Structure 1
Amino acid sequence: MFTILVISLIIIIVVLVLAVATTSKAYQYKHTVDPIDNNPHLSETEQKEKE
């Protein structure tokens, strides 16, 4: 019974550490946004508004 408890706690700790590590790495990722000048959908929207 004690061995099952120890193994379960080890698994819980490993999952928690992995979850924290992946979340931390995700927040460090630098997202980029395309400039408005290169957006082909913007010109389509402007043409529809003019009509």
Structure 2
Amino acid sequence: MWVVIVVCIAIVIAVLALSIMTLNKGYGYKQTVDPLPEDIINKTEEEKTRDE
């Protein structure tokens, strides 16, 4: 009987630890967003005017 309880507690602790690790990894992910095509065109035009 005690063996079953200990195994169940160990499984619960393992699942909790893996869930916390997954959440931390997910929140630690830094998303990057590609710039819009208009922004790229405007940026290249600004760089051209600086070079002149």
TM-score, structure 2 as length reference: 0.68
Pairing 1:1-51 to 2, within 5 Å after superposition = 1-37=1-37
Larger Rg belongs to = 2
Gaps of 5+ in 1: 39-51
Which segments of structure 1 move beyond 2 Å, counting only runs of 4 or more? Answer: none
Q: CA RMSD in A?
A: 1.2
Gaps of 5+ in 2: 39-52
Tell me the equivalent position of 2:46. Answer: none
Larger displacement relative to structure 2 (29-38 or 2-11): 29-38
- Return the alpha-carbon distance in structure 2 between the equivalents of residues 6 and 35 of structure 1: 53
Structure 1 residue 37: Cα displacement:
1.3
Equivalenced residue count is: 38
